[in-house]
Amino acid sequence: MKTAQKFSKILVTGGCGFIGANLIPMFANDAEEIVAFDNLSRGSKKLLDGTGTEIIRGDILNRRALQAAMAGVDAVIHLAAFGSVVESVKEPVPNFDNNAAGTFNVLDCARLAGVRKVIFASTGGALIGNAEPPVNEQSLPKPISPYGASKLCGEAYCHAFSQSYGMETVSLRFANVYGPFSAHKKGAVTVFIRALLTGEPIMIYGDGQASRDFLYAEDLCRGIRQALLKPLQPGAVMHLAAGNEVRIADLARLIARIGGNEDHPIEYLERRPGEVERNAASYDLANELIGFEPQVSLEAGMQRTWDWFVEQDETVMNVVLSDS
């Protein structure tokens, strides 16, 4: 039986963001040193206060800075990305630069530095496109947004590097992640919670029947850690999901109930291009390969997320992120 891998130095790109803030504390006993590499355009050093993490301000498009940060690193968690479908439709060029070219830079600099393992944060729904749920690793990717296409490109390079250079790459297809440290996110959960807290109507694009698979951040990060520590076949691809298809209208009503206002107004707007209609994924392969099993129910996770938002001060709620 293969034993869990240990690492001397882990580099987390985009480590000062939402996922990084939830993930990095989990690595406390898995490496001698943890480094967050982040350009701080959408993250904050403050999210890692008290974790003892070294923070390097740098951009994945700057190969010189990236190569310097890779010194002594034997594992990389690549989270840095432009993660908005809507933004990718409006501005496809920066999305390609950061998600496709940026991922290539991370892989190539990791190759040059002799990094053993790279975990790539991919996506499920946007990469697969419109398909009958639940999708799995055998589903044919047909992205309908530049964001989904950029993540498919990243997966392709991960597989190519695994086969050409023997690097252990793992592409993890994230469901729609929510939880603490997400005040700056633009996804449905954050937008709906903000609407309740400010007294504004909840805005839903489309008729509310579109669906998503919502995964609590703590569950996702456990899956990332399991994928890092477990030896896997190079080029592995897995969905990390909750396995539940949730309609957006039902999500809005759940958050309104948790927020104490079941009758909070909901307004429906025109559907936006690039967004898939239905999305839910099977996590059977991740369960088989790394023992992944979500533990936090949707209602419990939303309650924890609501409580976190309520506890934040005005600075966090206004998303004034400081790199000082």
Q: For residue 79, what is the domain's CATH number?
A: 3.40.50.720
Residue 128 lies in a domain: yes
Q: What value does the CA radius of gyration of the chain take, rounded to a whole number of Å? A: 19
Q: Is the predicted pLDDT of residue 1 greater than 80, yes or no?
A: no
Q: Does any domain span residue 188?
A: no
191 located within any domain: no
Tell me whether residue 217 is in a domain.
yes
Domains held by the chain: number = 1
Using the predicted structure, report yes or no on whether residue 199 has a pLDDT greater than 60.
yes
Rounded Cα distance between 86 and 273, Å, is 8
Q: Is residue 222 situated within a structural domain? A: yes
Query: Which tokens in the block code for residue 170?
Result: 């793992």
Q: How far is CA 5 from the centre of its chain?
A: 23
Residue 54 lies in a domain: yes
Question: Distance between CA atoms of 3 and 310, rounded to whole angstroms?
Answer: 42
Q: Is 57 helix (H, G, I), strand (E, B) or coil?
A: strand
pTM to 2 decimal places: 0.95
Q: What is the mean pLDDT of the chain?
A: 94
Which segment of 173-182, 246-255, 307-316 scores lowest on mean pLDDT?
A: 307-316
pLDDT (0 to 100) of residue 319: 45
**Whole-number Å distance between alpha carbons of 139 and 315:** 43
Peptide bond before residue 265 is cis, with ω within 30 degrees of 0: no
77 within some domain: yes
Looking at the domain assignment, is residue 196 inside a domain? no
- The boundaries of the domain holding residue 77 are 8-182+213-244+282-294
316 pLDDT band (50/70/90 cuts)? low
pLDDT tens for residues 170-198?
999 999 999 999 998 889 999 999 999 99
Q: What is the pLDDT of residue 256?
A: 97
Could you give the CA distance from residue 186 to residue 209 in angstroms, rounded to a whole number? Answer: 19
